[in-house]
Amino acid sequence: MQTRFVLKRGGKHEGESPFWISFSDLMSALMVLFLVVMAVTLVAVTQSIDATTRRSIERSEAISKIMNMIAAESRKADVGVDQQNYRIDLGKEVRFDSGSFTISAPAAQFLRSYVPVLLKAKDTPEGRRWMRSVVVEGFTDEDGTYLYNLQLSLNRSRSVVCSLFQGTAGADGLTPGQLRKVQELFLVGGYSFNSIKKDKAESRRVELKVDFWGLDETPPAPSVVLRDKEFGRC
């Protein structure tokens, strides 16, 4: 019996198929492209983060410089400055009698002598870029109702600002240029008895809060309206 051998024409190995070679090359190219895109994106994000971090550091350093300047000048006037919270405690110089928002003549004179410290800080390059405002915050003791003390605290803040517009320029008063800066920079606020101290006399006080622009905020141009606005009277 004869054995028959059937020879079949062998096909190409799958690995030698041009289709699979092309597909493999395509996948490799896509992978390389993906890695390039990811690398570029990562670099862009890193640079963006670095730029934001750098600007944040520059802002913090500028604010620190401003507050250091204010603190150094305030020590001469025996005024306490909380450089971390940007608060200025006017101390015993500005206190009020119970139920009163009248500022004594010595206290008013003291305020007119001290406020130029803040105006000087505002005139620095750092101050012009980052100082937004100085908020005069009035406080009361716990006597009386909340709304009564809210109004009283606002009146105390207002009295502080009013005292700056008294006096005679060149003597114990501010110059017209300084008063214009006060008009642009100072705001008032009241806190009723929400922040009382153990001593009632210490609670009847006024503090100054320095407010700064945010990282992505830009100070507006000086108001033309305020330039010719009359100061008025309290």
Token readout for 174 is 């501010």
The whole-number average pLDDT for the span 19-48 is 68
Host domain of residue 83: 49-227
What CATH number is associated with residue 74? 3.30.1330.60
Residue 26 placed within a domain = no
Q: pLDDT tens across 93-102, in order?
A: 888 999 999 9
Our CA angle for 66, 72, 73, nearest 5°, is: 90
Residue 18 placed within a domain = no
Helix axes 105-122, 146-164, angle to 10 degrees: 70
Residue 94 placed within a domain = yes
Rounded CA gap, 104 and 109, in Å?
9
How much is the pLDDT for 108?
93
Which residues, including other chains, have CB under 8 Å from residue 115's CB and lie 6 or more apart? 164, 174, 178, 182
In 123-174, which ranges are continuous DSSP H helix? Answer: 125-130, 146-164
3 by DSSP, 3-state: which? coil
226 pLDDT tier (thresholds 50, 70, 90): confident
Alpha carbon 177 to its chain centroid, in Å, reads 25
How much is the pLDDT for 25?
66
